[in-house]
């Protein structure tokens, strides 16, 4: 096991050195190519930044206003019947938009119920079985200048539903 730990410490630098050596042997101006890639990357970040800020502010406002808690209490009869604790409903909604904001909700759930509780276990599984759909679509489609998303949103929502159902089943099976 110790060999694998040392091997993993060597892999990344070895790949970087290989790329540089290959570029030099191919007579590519490696440093200039790196700078061009970094410059292009900064342009993409500048294009994406307004979308990211908008998403983060919107989620922050919803969370701070108490609207997400209200939504959780309002949906409690339906979510409890489906096996989802009402405190997890805001997490389901926020996770669609922002993974970092969802992580804040996860920490709140862990503090209130504990990580080994049904709610804590389901939260852990849910975070790994679902994706930040709207964040991912807005960032990647904006960067690639895609205007027709076709079936991306319905497919992503279906995958999130499947992940949520599996979270309920797995957490119920493990407790």
Residue 97's pLDDT band (cuts 50, 70, 90): confident
Alpha carbon distances (Å) from 39 to 2, 74, 135, 146: 39, 48, 23, 22
pLDDT, one tens digit per residue, over 103-146 is 888 998 999 999 999 999 999 999 988 888 888 888 788 778 88
pLDDT, one tens digit per residue, over 24-34 is 999 999 999 99
């Amino acid at each position: 096991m110790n060999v694998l730990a040392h091997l993993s410490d060597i892999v990344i630098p070895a790949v970087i050195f290989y790329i540089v050596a290959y570029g030099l042997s191919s007579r590519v101006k490696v440093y200039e190519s790196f700078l061009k890639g970094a410059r292009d990357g900064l342009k993409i970040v500048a294009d994406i930044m307004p979308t990211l800020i908008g998403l983060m502010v919107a989620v922050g406002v919803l969370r701070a206003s108490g609207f997400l808690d209200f939504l959780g209490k309002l949906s409690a009869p339906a979510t409890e019947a489906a096996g989802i604790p009402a405190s997890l409903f805001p997490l389901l909604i926020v996770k669609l938009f922002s993974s970092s904001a969802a992580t804040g909700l996860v920490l709140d759930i862990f503090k209130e119920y504990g990580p080994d509780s049904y709610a804590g276990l389901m939260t852990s599984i849910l975070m790994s079985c679902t994706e930040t759909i709207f964040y991912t679509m807005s960032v990647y489609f904006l960067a690639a200048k895609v205007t027709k998303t076709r079936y991306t949103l319905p497919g992503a929502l279906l995958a999130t539903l499947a992940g949520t159902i599996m979270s309920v089943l797995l957490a119920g099976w493990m407790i």
